[in-house]
Amino acid sequence: MTAIPQGRTHRRAALVSAMCALVVTGLGMTGCSEDPDAGTNGVGKLPAERIQAKTTAAAGEVDAVRLSGTVVAGGKSYKLDMRLKSDGGTGSVTAEGASFHLLRVGEQLYLKADAAFWKNGDGKAGTSESDTAAADKLDGKYVKVPTGDPSYKKFSGFTDKDLLLGDLLTLHGALAKDGHHEQAGVRTIRITGDGGSGGTLDVSLEGRPYPLRLERAGGAGTLSFSAWGEDFALEQPTKGETVDYGKELPAS
């Protein structure tokens, strides 16, 4: 069976829409409407529970993704721009006005920030000379985060694709569909938990049913997903870029 090119499908849909408009205008007829799922991957016709299952499976099967937006956790709001894959991730995090870069390759996690980030953790004036010297040493360097440091568990989760997506893509409450939408020029079907209070998720109707936009329950952040399956370099920083601070990081 010969596949119909995507462009031809869109042109056919446009032609059907134009014909319907002529019929309604010229003959006063109603009931002629375009199928919103024409030319899509078909998940828009499925029940919300099946859509949830399919988008979760699609996200789990692909190796790489980029996510950006905000996540509220532990009473703090984190702004993320991360690229993730199965063996690590890299990207930027901003919390309470402080920004830093995370890099995880395998089990090794690195944190890079400027000197202000390391000065008493908030960059305020009045730090001791030793604190200032330590902060200057760490300025712009990849600092190895010891696995036993509290920061390791806290920040490594931002670089763990399976852990992060497994938590984020869960909607709470009864699932339902909330119509056809569009995200970054891609047609989507939206599903909700408890009418939206349990979160909303836009799922791609083009290609594989990847999740494209998530609004978390309870105002706990909004995230966009892109670059599904697009590989990227993930390498250990060089010795000249790295500082090994020891078993525990300075307070930050």
Residue 212 has a CB neighbour count (10 Å cut-off) of: 25
In this predicted structure, what is the pLDDT of residue 222? Answer: 97
Per-residue pLDDT of the chain (252 residues; tens, 9 = 90+): 444 444 444 444 544 454 444 444 444 444 455 889 999 999 999 999 999 999 999 999 999 999 999 999 888 899 999 999 999 999 999 998 899 999 999 999 999 999 988 885 544 444 566 678 878 888 999 999 988 888 898 899 999 999 989 888 989 999 999 999 999 999 999 999 999 999 999 999 999 999 999 999 999 999 999 999 999 999 999 999 998 866 556 554
Give the integer Cα–Cα distance in Å for 91 and 155: 11
The owner of tokens 């936009």 is 213
Q: 29-88: per-residue pLDDT in tens?
A: 444 558 899 999 999 999 999 999 999 999 999 999 999 999 998 888 999 999 999 999
Contacts of 234 (CB under 8 A, 6+ apart): 85, 87, 88, 89, 90, 103, 105
* Gyration radius from the chain CA atoms: 24
